[in-house]
Amino acid sequence: MLQGIGNMPWFKKVVDQEKEFTIFVYGHTRTLECLRHFIEGKEVVRPGVTRFASNFLTMNNMQEKKDQLRKMVVHSKWDLLKEVKSKKGKEARTTILSPTFWRDIKLTLVVFEPLVKVLCLVDGDVKPSMGFVYEELLKAKREIKEALGNIESRFKDVIVVIEKKMHGRLDSPLHLTTYLLNPHYSYSNPSIFDEPKITEGFIACVEKFYYYDENKQYQAANIDVKKF
């Protein structure tokens, strides 16, 4: 999902600008020393679970250190470096001083963040994640729509990417069943027991689990789930 959204022309532009800046700075010893001086020994580039998660983490760091980065590229310490006189050095400076770049980063982050949270959930070892994935993706879609002003023309293409990647992968009968049987959701919103898609997924799981025993299928689908 992150890759699909990151490859959309608008998002790809800002991702490429972020990568060009970090590749330039980290590609030279003196520019990297200068960077670390201004951000007090910390890093901008952050490894993530996937390449696009890394892009998000890096952009998030850049956003947090926006003032230090802008101060750096107009400081005499930066201007004295030979590397910054090159074409890529001048482009790096232009990028950091561009209000449009920072506006685009801010918008990219609010779109990527909900999905990165889901990625961290499924990649973590703290607790089993299957019972949380379906609802957290629905929540991510809602947050992305809100971030884009609930204007369909702005969020439509992003949501299409998410739903295309969900279909047949993260909305399987097993995902729907673990969602239904997760008290975190079902106790706070009992109406999910009446959603056709969810109940159909549950019944499909019951039929598969008790393939050779119709009595147990009936017991689970008509009695046990009501007790639950």
Whether 12 and 125 share a structural domain:
yes
Look at residue 74 in the predicted model and tell me its pLDDT: 95
Look at residue 42 in the predicted model and tell me its pLDDT: 84
Whether 30 and 119 share a structural domain:
yes
Whether 104 and 216 share a structural domain:
no
How far apart (Å, rounded) are the C-alpha atoms in residues 127 and 169? Answer: 20
How would DSSP label each residue in 106-131?
Answer: HHHHHHHHHHHHHHHHHH-SSS--HH
Whether 17 and 97 share a structural domain:
yes
Look at residue 69 in the predicted model and tell me its pLDDT: 96
Domain stops at, among 129, 155, 182:
129
Is residue 155 situated within a structural domain? no
How far apart (Å, rounded) are the C-alpha atoms in residues 6 and 203? Answer: 37
Whether 123 and 178 share a structural domain:
no
Query: What count of residues does the chain have?
Result: 228
Look at residue 48 in the predicted model and tell me its pLDDT: 66
Is residue 178 situated within a structural domain? yes
Is residue 162 situated within a structural domain? no
**Domain count across the chain:** 2
Whether 98 and 25 share a structural domain:
yes
11-26 core/surface letters (b: 16 or more CB in 10 A; e: else): beebbebbeebbebbe
Is residue 107 situated within a structural domain? yes
Whether 87 and 182 share a structural domain:
no
How far apart (Å, rounded) are the C-alpha atoms in residues 36 and 69? Answer: 10
Look at residue 50 in the predicted model and tell me its pLDDT: 67
What pLDDT tens digit does each residue of the chain (228 aa) get?
Answer: 888 998 999 899 999 999 999 999 999 999 999 999 999 888 888 776 667 778 888 999 999 999 999 999 999 999 999 999 999 999 999 999 999 999 999 999 999 999 988 988 887 777 788 899 999 999 999 999 998 899 999 899 999 999 999 998 899 999 999 999 999 998 889 999 999 999 999 999 999 999 999 999 999 999 999 998
How far apart (Å, rounded) are the C-alpha atoms in residues 181 and 185? Answer: 8
How far apart (Å, rounded) are the C-alpha atoms in residues 85 and 90? Answer: 6
Whether 80 and 8 share a structural domain:
yes
- Do the beta carbons of residue 110 and residue 104 sit within 8 Å? no
Whether 12 and 119 share a structural domain:
yes
Look at residue 49 in the predicted model and tell me its pLDDT: 63
Whether 109 and 179 share a structural domain:
no
Domain stops at, among 96, 129, 162:
129
Whether 10 and 107 share a structural domain:
yes
Q: Residue 148: which residues within 8 A CB-CB, separation 6 or more? A: 111, 154, 155, 158
Q: Please identify which residue in the block is written with the tokens 């995902």.
A: 175
| DSSP 3-state of 39 | coil
Integer-rounded Cα radius of gyration of the chain: 23
Is residue 141 situated within a structural domain? no
Domain stops at, among 94, 129, 164:
129
Is residue 118 situated within a structural domain? yes
Is residue 200 situated within a structural domain? yes
Give the range of the structural domain holding residue 68, as residue numbers without chain letter: 2-129
Q: What is the pTM of this model?
A: 0.80
Is residue 209 situated within a structural domain? yes
Alpha carbons within 13 angstroms on the beta-carbon side of residue 176 total 22
Whether 103 and 11 share a structural domain:
yes
